[in-house]
Amino acid sequence: MDPLKKEIVICLGSSCFARGNKSAIKAITEFLKEHNLQNDVNFRGERCFGMCAKGPVLKLGNVYHENADTESIILLLRDYLEIN
Ligand code: FES
């Protein structure tokens, strides 16, 4: 893992997965591809973050984003990756 790369961690616990992170994986992968960022970020999954009631959860850098539906994820990614 490259410590200089920005980190995107999606919760793959069963609650978040069922609440939308299954489709979020696809949306994030497509977003990174579209902006040619696949090699500039570490995108990975982790098991339950322990905040299931607030899921789906996405972690960008050190910040956890709750109730992250696919639409808000794109906005969060644009902001985090500084894309206009
Ligand atoms: S399954 Fe995502 S926080 Fe628990």
Rg (CA), the chain: 12
In contact, 65 and 58? CB cutoff 8 Å = yes
74 lines ligand 1 (CB under 6 A): no
Query: What are the backbone angles phi and psi of residue 21, rounded to the nearest 5°?
Result: -70, -15
Asked whether 9 lines ligand 1 (CB < 6 A), one says no
- pLDDT per residue as tens digits for the range 20-76: 999 999 999 999 999 999 999 999 999 999 999 999 999 999 999 999 999 999 999
The confidence score (pLDDT) of residue 22 equals 94
